[in-house]
A and B are shown apart, each in its own frame.
Chain A
Amino acid sequence: MSPELAFLQALNGISFGALLFILAAGLSLIFGMMDVVNLAHGAFYMLGAYVALSVVRTTGSFWVALVAVPLALGALGLVVEPLLLRRLRGRHLDQVLITVGVALVITDLIRLKPDWGAEVRTLPPPDALAGSIAILGNDYPVYRLFVIAFGVTLALSLAALHRRSRAGALIRAGVDDAQMLSALGVDTDRLFAVTYATGAALAGLAGVVAAPVLGLQPGMDVEALVLSLIVVVVGGLGTLGGAQVGAALVGPADTFGKVFVPQFALFFIFAIMALVLLLRPSGLLGRIRVIR
């Protein structure tokens, strides 16, 4: 493999990794805070993508969708958490089950809506990012470079929020011991609702950014959920750093897996996950969690 080709493939891998991080961030946030694997994550992602499709069709602007869709999904999260999850607090398995229910309802509603429906659809990237530019004398899609920039920016801003802001401090405290936080006078109900809404908004955001690359079709919810789960399991459950490391490893691994062993492309990343689980069951950056 020529160095030039290796560089292009590395770029492909990094761009896919950035996409994976955007996909997994919301799942990781909710799990870290609430100890709930939000299996509606894929459905939120799918809904985000379809809402983006409608927004782009009516307003003609990708950028409007990029702002409006996370807000809409955040609002949905603000409804789902108090209405459904809060009643089951402390019963994690039941909470996970109810997120499956939410996912089934959302995906069926999407299927029933005639202009979303069961057909395969694509969301074109915004005009400014639609073309290609020359890198090492080869055409390279601008949108993929945007995805890299977007993913890195999102990772940095989430990390800054997490480490420096009051909300971040509350989240970190909540991850460590929600009961103690509540005893200190923090309204954990509100904190959980906001966390869940943020997670849903991030899923919606992923739907907008990923749609021009991965497309819209029935079954995209499951595909996105599986990819996100792999990323957070490899990186370490429930830590932001874990999602970053997971995505940075899985993206390029998937790409180079496709290049070197295309016949195993489909399960290459599953093999990585199995290996990580064998050697470090809590993920690369995972911590041993206290079972409450």
Chain B
Amino acid sequence: MSGSTTTNELAKHRGYTYRLTRRQFLVASSAAALAACGPAATPSGAPATTSAAATAGKPLKLGILLPFTKVYAELGNSMKRSADLYIKSKGGKFANRTVPAPIYEDEANDPQVGLQKTQKFIDQDQVDVMLGIVATPIAYAIRNVVDSAKLIFIETNAGGNALTRTTTDCKPACKSKYIFRSSFSSWQISNPIGEYLASKKGVKEAFTFVSDYGFGTESQADFTAGLTKGGGKVTGTLKAPLGNNDFLPFVTQLKAQPTKDIYSFFSGTDAIGYIKAWNQLGLSAAGYKMNGAGFLTEQDVLKEVKEQAVGAITSLFWAVTLDNPENKAFTDLYQKEYNLLPDVFAVQQWDGMRAVDEALQKLGGDTSDKDRFIRALEDTSFKSPRGDFAFDKDTHNPIQDMYIREVKVVGGQAVNVISDKIARVQDPGK
């Protein structure tokens, strides 16, 4: 490139301040911006969230960290809609605390950004409760900061097992008494379906094909353990990179191996690409069966692939078609407000908000004593749109039913139809 001369010029002039050119200004200001992006200088020893004064009656400050840009932006939007709707449905009040609009920050699917924004919640905003986070690496990255700041954090999506388990040297993360999870662990959506397929459906052999990152690998291992426990065995594994652009090579390989039952973990664009390639190469017609963790066929995927996903069997703790009064009320309310069907991410956020609300009712709105607040959360149990919801007191992961769902066309639309239920699934973490 012929930019080398200008670069040399730039290098020559750098440091001379007799005349600030635009270019130097840009260099200087971006350096300053970079410095500002570094980890906040304040150690998180004694933030004001632990104020001794009774907090009853004061407005409840919620800090919600979600992705509003990049690939998970729509998940963030969905969860924000759900959080806003919950507050609105309670008339802006949890117990005797008014709940003003939460402080939303964008984690931009980046652990460093997530960490900075969490520090901001702690030091600058001094929030009472933090919620959110879609991607597991970000949840792992902020675990220690939240723990040492004694900030109550409700994880409303990321399912990495380690966040609610005791692990060796706390790697890559471990449970914290300040962290609760209103979503799921990857074990819960991967292991029970493995055991179910082997023991109830007579699947003796399965082949796994998952997304090649922490969560996919975890899901694959948990499924394998479940299938083995039920008396089946995994004949082989294939992994595709996260954000894979072309699924044809992988699905061609799937079709070249003899095991007919395929277990997959993909979501979003990857799931769409995979299901399309599956159809184009005619795997169903060749006798192959698609199984997976529920995100493989959630609404964001189904509305794009439609009947191409018919026959896929997945497990998840919710489906929009789930028949119970709470789910009906929730989906009606959400649909009335936004003219949209809620998705599973909205349910997770809704239950996170609900848990905070229920705990505050028990405490009479007083969040000043963190240990009492934690105990109140631990004792929280309610009827959620997903069914019975309660926290595991040891790990703070939810104990919940898993539904076995099959994609069928109902009234001209491809939907997840619930065919079976595995009751009260509890993550084996301690």
A residues sitting closer than 8 Å to B (CB atoms) are 2, 5, 8-9, 12-13, 15-16, 35, 37, 91-93, 96, 111, 117-122, 132, 138-141, 143-144, 213-215, 217-219, 223, 227, 254-256, 258-259, 262-263, 265-266, 289, 291-292
Question: If the complex has contacts A8-B252, A291-B2, are A122 and B246 also in contact, measured as CB distance less than 8 A?
Answer: no
Distance between Cα atoms of A138 and B301 in the complex (Å): 26
Q: Which residues of A contact B255 (CB under 8 A)?
A: 138
Q: Which residues of A contact B273 (CB under 8 A)?
A: 214-215
The answer to whether A140 touches B269, judged by C-beta atoms less than 8 angstroms apart, is no
B77 adjacent to chain A (CB < 8 Å) = yes
Distance between Cα atoms of A218 and B250 in the complex (Å): 24
Most A CB within 10 A of own CB, among B212, B239, B241, B285: B241
Question: If the complex has contacts A5-B256, A8-B252, A262-B239, are A213 and B246 also in contact, measured as CB distance less than 8 A?
Answer: yes
Q: Which residues of B contact A140 (CB under 8 A)?
A: 280-281
Distance between Cα atoms of A1 and B248 in the complex (Å): 16
The answer to whether B304 touches A217, judged by C-beta atoms less than 8 angstroms apart, is no
Closest CB pairs A-B (n = 5): A139-B282, A118-B73, A141-B280, A266-B241, A258-B249
The answer to whether A214 touches B245, judged by C-beta atoms less than 8 angstroms apart, is yes
A-binding segment of B3-11, B366-374, B378-386, B413-421: B3-11
Known pairs A122-B276, A122-B305, A218-B70 / 16 extra A-B pairs, C-beta < 8 Å: A5-B252, A5-B256, A120-B304, A132-B280, A139-B281, A140-B280, A140-B281, A141-B280, A144-B248, A213-B246, A223-B245, A255-B246, A262-B240, A262-B250, A263-B239, A291-B2
Q: Mark B118-129, 1 if CB is under 8 A from A, else 0.
A: 000000000000
B238 adjacent to chain A (CB < 8 Å) = yes
The answer to whether B70 touches A12, judged by C-beta atoms less than 8 angstroms apart, is no
The answer to whether A93 touches B282, judged by C-beta atoms less than 8 angstroms apart, is no
**Whole-angstrom distance from the CB of B315 to the nearest CB of chain A?**
22
B243 adjacent to chain A (CB < 8 Å) = yes
Q: Which residues of B contact A9 (CB under 8 A)?
A: 249, 252
Distance between Cα atoms of A140 and B304 in the complex (Å): 21
Return the chain B residue nearest A210 by Cβ: B245
B244 adjacent to chain A (CB < 8 Å) = yes
Distance between Cα atoms of A155 and B228 in the complex (Å): 52
Distance between Cα atoms of A168 and B212 in the complex (Å): 45
**Whole-angstrom distance from the CB of B264 to the nearest CB of chain A?**
14
Distance between Cα atoms of A139 and B282 in the complex (Å): 6
Q: Mark B212-247, 1 if CB is under 8 A from A, else 0.
A: 100000000000000000000000001111111110
Choose among B5, B73, B249, B305 the residue that contacts A291 (Cβ–Cβ < 8 A). Answer: B5
Return the chain A residue nearest B268 by Cβ: A120
